[in-house]
Every structure is written in C-alpha cells, then in structure tokens.
Structure 1
Amino acid sequence: MKTKRLEAPGGIFRYLFLLPAAVIYLSVIVFPAFYSFYLSFFKWNGINPNKIFVGFQNYIQLFTQDQVFLTALRNNIIWIVLTVCVTVTISLLLALLVNQQFKGRTAVRGILYFPYILSGVMVAIIWSWVYQPQLGLLKGLMDAVGIANISTAWLSNPSTALLAVFFAALWQGVGGPMTLFLAGLQTIPADLKEAAFIDGASKIQTFFKVTLPMLRETLVIVLATQIIASMKVYDVIYAMTGGGPANSTQTLSTWMVSQTFTFSNFGMGTAISTIMVAVMMIIIVPYVSLMSKE
C-alpha cells in the first residue's frame, strides 16, 4: 500500500524531492533578480537604511544623461556582433579542421581547447604582455616584419583598445564553441556526405547543403550561449583596461560594477543589470523561439 501511495498520480512525495532544488533556485536566482529590479527604482548608497524612491528616474538618467552608459551599451553591441561573426565562424572552421583524420589531431584539439579553461584574469595578464609597447610579443613580431613604425600602444589608444581586448577574448573563447561544433559534426552520418559527393556536389556545396543544416540545433545553442556571454563580459576587460582609456572599453557589466561598488549607487547599478537582462531576452527569446519552430 505504501508503494502505491508513493507512485500515485498527484502524490505529494514527488514534490518533496523537488523542494531542495526549488528552494536553492528561488533563493539564489529568482529572489535576487526581483530584488535587484525593485532596487532599480530607488536612490540608495547600500549603507543608509533609508532608500529614496525615484521611480524610473534611474533609467531615464542612464539613457539621457549618462554618456558612459551609452558607450558601454554600444560596446556590448559591437562585442556581440564580433562574437557572432568572428568567434562563431572561427570556432566552426576549427571544428571542421580537427574533425578530419590526421596524425596528432587529439593533441591539436587539446591545444585549441586549452585557453578556454584559463581564467579571464590569467588571459588578461598574458595578453597585456603580448601588447606591451616595448617588450611585448606583438612588438617583436612587428619589428621582425619591418612595420615597427606602426603605433603599438594598443591598450592605451581609445580607438584600438576594445578590439585589442576582443582578440584576447577571442583567443580564449574559441575552444568552447569549437567543442560543441565538433560534437555536432560527429553526429552527422557519413552516408549523407558520401551521397552528396556521388551526386556531384563539391565540398563547399556539401557543407552548405548537408553539414550546416545538420548543425542547426548545435548552432542554436552556440549562438545563444555566445550572445549571453557577450552581454556578461567583464573579467578580461576589467583586468586589461579597467574600462579605459577614457571609458572607451566600458561594457554594461563593468559600468554596472563601477556604479554599484565604486560610486555606491546601487539604484543605478541595478537599473543597468535590469537593462542587461532585458537586452538578452529581446535577442535570445525570439531567436530561440524562431529556430525551434523551424
């Protein structure tokens, strides 16, 4: 009888097993998210017990008076575009490369994936030395090919700093999506490619007509995760430039942290975090919904 009661539809015992996970999820994710949204309507320094209700003033001020916020929003959009166009493309090309049969491909896979397991701060330290104007690796390579006269102050020049940091993040970030693409490629039946070759299709035609359509589900996952990561990018930027020079590399994450903990403006910081979530939902939800329907 006890066994039947445990297995009966609508029995309470099944929900008790979900309770620990539900409590953790609500307390760690749901409640902090709603509380941050609540704080975005106040002016508060994080210490004073009295919060001043300002309504949507924090949001209005961000879009009308805060030029750094607009720069950070633009930089995030640029970062997303570069990630989708460059990081995802290079990851797919590398996955196609290491999916081929050649000697030492396991070692090549490990080498390409290795930067992905490094912390963002470690990557920032490595690439800060690469970009070092006098003794850096890039300066040495430029001297070797005879273009030493080109400016090498990559991280201190507002016009090049964001791209310089992005290439550091690119070096670290291609390993993750490459592995996902590789897993997707290995699920494609070889018979499909062989049939395409028999029908006279070239390698390029086979890629676009067979390989790419078969990678649709993997592509959805890769693009969604990469866009989310692009919106949250923080550590490599903070460690390499701190948002400078002249706030040229600020992103929503770095500016949110600065507003919250440097300037003790919790209302403005949580407003930025709410905008980040809204932007991610505007991009991700329609994309995933459309791809799922197709």
Structure 2
Amino acid sequence: MASPLVGPEKRERTPRRRAFRWWAYLALLPLALIIGYFAYYPALSAIFWSFFHWQPAGVSTFIGFGNYVTMLSDGIWWSSFRNLGFIFAFGVVSWIFPLFAAELLISLKNARWQFAMRTLLIIPMAFPGVVTALVWGFFYSPNDGVINQTLKAIGLSGLAQNWTGQSSTALLSLLFVGFPFIAGLPFLIFYSSLQNIPTEVLEAAQLDGVGRLARFWQIDLPLMASQVRILLFLAIVSTLQYGFVAYVLTGGGPDNATMVPILRMINVAFQGGDWGASAALSTTLFIITIAISAVVATARRRGSATTDGGAM
C-alpha cells in the first residue's frame, strides 16, 4: 500500500464546517422549549399517569400496572389493530395508482403538459383533510349520496346501501376515501425518484432497445428501492396514527367495525371517563410505534450497508 505522502496524487480533504460560537445556539432555545412543552411533555405525562387511576379534576390514585392489566383483557383494543392491518395492507396496494400516474407523467415529452398535469395532481394535497372526509361522507350518504344515486340512475338500485352504517361495508368504505389515491405523498416520492434517474442510464437503455415495461422492472423500480423503504416506514407510522377519517365518518362504528387504536383511546377517556386507562393505551401505542420504527431503521441501515458493500 503506497504511502499517502508519496506520489503526485493528493488526497482530497473534506472541508470542515466552521463551528458557531456557543452563544449562537441560544437562538434555538425558544424552539426547544416549544417542542419540549407541546411534544415531549404530553408524551411523558401520559406515561406517568398511566400508572394512576387518573382524575384530572380530582384526586388520582396510584394503581401500578392496573391499567395495563385492564388493557390486556380489552378485546376492542386488540381487534382495532386487526383493522389497522387491513388499512396498512390496502394503503400499500393502493400505491399502484400513484406509481402508474408518476410513470405516465414522467413519460410526457411536452414539458408544459407535464407541468400542468403535475400541478393538477398536487393541488388537492392542499385541501384540508376534514373537507375530503366530509365530501366522501356525502358520497356515502344512504339517502341522497352520489354513489347510491348513481347506482339507482343506471338501474342497479339493489346495490344501493348504507355504506358507512353497516359493519360489512363500513371499513371498506373508509379505505376508499381519497380514491384514486394519486394526490398524496406517494405520488410525490415516486415522481421525484423518476426525475432523479440519470439521463445516461435512460439513454443507454434506449440504445439497447429496452422497452417501456422492461425499463420499469429493470431500471425504474430498482432505483426507487430506497425511496420505497422510506415510504414504507412513513406508511407504518401514519397507519398507527390513523383515526381522523374514521372519527369523522363512523366514530369507530358500527359495532366497532371501524375501530382503531386512536379512537379506542378517545372513547375510553371521554366516554368511559377512565383517563388512566386511556393513558396506558396511548403509552402502549407509543412503545409499539418506537419499536417498529427502530426495526425499520435498523433494516434500512443494514440494507444500505449491504448495497454499499456490494458496490465496492
């Protein structure tokens, strides 16, 4: 091995960033206080009160792991995770739509048309989530909803039903909120990934006679692997926090058919008045989220290390 001091080659030195003086970091103190009070304090407070029979306006009694013992026998709580499994699986499968849209959009030769279509697909992301949920609630209305009215107009009135009001169709109805699922984060990630594919790679594939479908399987999809892993991680975290649409449209019903952990926590606290048990549920969900995040992050690091090792 040649000495780094011998030879005409010079080692490239990574420029070191100049450190700020210590007092400059005091500018971050207000932000740290805000994050600590509004993010970390509620989480730590929930962990603390999960060991109490918590009465926010009264006397709270320490009961140890009593709330967690109660949680173990809460069938509604555990069945809500089964619903989350369906929500996660459906969400991942629905990535087909934004991926297909991104592939179509990136293939447009006209830059103006590509910009116009991209804008039309991104603008709906700015709409408030409550508006989207309420609009779909109108679609699902059993009396004058768009879906039932359309079925009646085409002679399929026998298929009209109370979509969110019966347990057999309620969860599936929630899953289809936002169809065709293009205006969202997956579309942006897929589209930006396709934009970042080197032009040289695409030109070489074209010279080799690689067709559009073959290019998708052999070039586009493998080069998007890291972005897909990130998207998968975000999907897991967002699924564990799912509850807004179900709260607006069904409230977890009917017969707990659309119950999810977030809604179960709310019901135990506000309807059951058992704030300590709700804190135990939230703490458990927090631990599950952290554990899954750690596993996914570790898998990502190992995957990146394997890729870098194979490239050397």
Shared fold per TM-score greater than 0.5: yes
Q: Cα distance, 1:174 vs. partner?
A: 4.3
Aligned length: 285
Is 1:234 matched up with 2:243?
Answer: yes
Partner amino acid, structure 2, of 1:29: A
2:49 & 2:182 partners in 1: Cα distance? 33
Q: 1:41 to 1:169 in 2, by over 3 A?
A: farther
2:20 & 2:149 partners in 1: Cα distance? 70
Q: 1:36 to 1:116 in 2, by over 3 A?
A: same
1:114 & 1:144 partners in 2: Cα distance? 31
Is 1:45 matched up with 2:55?
Answer: yes
1:291 & 1:223 partners in 2: Cα distance? 11
- The match for 2:234 among 197, 218, 225 is 225
| SS of equivalent residue, structure 1 residue 154 | coil
2:126 & 2:20 partners in 1: Cα distance? 44
Contact 1:113 1:176 (8 Å CA) reproduced: no
2:252 corresponds to: 243
Is 1:96 matched up with 2:72?
Answer: no
Higher helix share: 1
Identity among equivalent pairs (%): 28
Q: 1:232 to 1:13 in 2, by over 3 A?
A: same
CA distances 1:175-206 after superposition (whole Å, capped 9, x unpaired): 22211221121111122123223334333332
2:29 corresponds to: 19
2:191 corresponds to: 182
1:4 corresponds to: none
Q: 1:208 to 1:89 in 2, by over 3 A?
A: same
1:117 & 1:251 partners in 2: Cα distance? 26
Spell out the pairing of 1:70-219 with structure 2 (5 A cutoff): 70-86=78-94, 88-101=95-108, 104-171=113-180, 174-219=183-228
Q: 1:144 to 1:111 in 2, by over 3 A?
A: farther
2:283 corresponds to: 274
Q: Cα distance, 1:108 vs. partner?
A: 3.0
2:9 corresponds to: none
Q: Cα distance, 1:148 vs. partner?
A: 2.2
| SS of equivalent residue, structure 2 residue 159 | coil
CA distances 1:135-162 after superposition (whole Å, capped 9, x unpaired): 2221233234443212421111102101
Unaligned 5+ segments in structure 1 are 1-6
Is 1:67 matched up with 2:75?
Answer: yes
2:123 & 2:213 partners in 1: Cα distance? 29
Is 1:29 matched up with 2:36?
Answer: no
Taking only aligned residues, the RMSD between alpha carbons, in angstroms, comes to 2.5
Rg larger for: 2
Contact 1:123 1:172 (8 Å CA) reproduced: no
2:182 & 2:278 partners in 1: Cα distance? 27
Deviates more, 1:274-283 or 1:248-257: 274-283
Unaligned 5+ segments in structure 2 are 1-16, 304-312
| SS of equivalent residue, structure 2 residue 40 | helix
2:261 & 2:182 partners in 1: Cα distance? 19
Deviates more, 1:52-61 or 1:249-258: 52-61
Q: Cα distance, 1:114 vs. partner?
A: 3.4
Contact 1:83 1:227 (8 Å CA) reproduced: no
TM-score, normalized by length of structure 2?
0.82
2:36 & 2:142 partners in 1: Cα distance? 49
1:125 & 1:288 partners in 2: Cα distance? 36
Q: 1:59 to 1:201 in 2, by over 3 A?
A: farther
Deviant stretches of 4+, over 4 Å: 7-11, 169-174
Q: 1:276 to 1:97 in 2, by over 3 A?
A: farther
Q: Cα distance, 1:94 vs. partner?
A: 1.8
1:205 & 1:284 partners in 2: Cα distance? 34
| SS of equivalent residue, structure 2 residue 165 | coil
2:221 & 2:193 partners in 1: Cα distance? 10
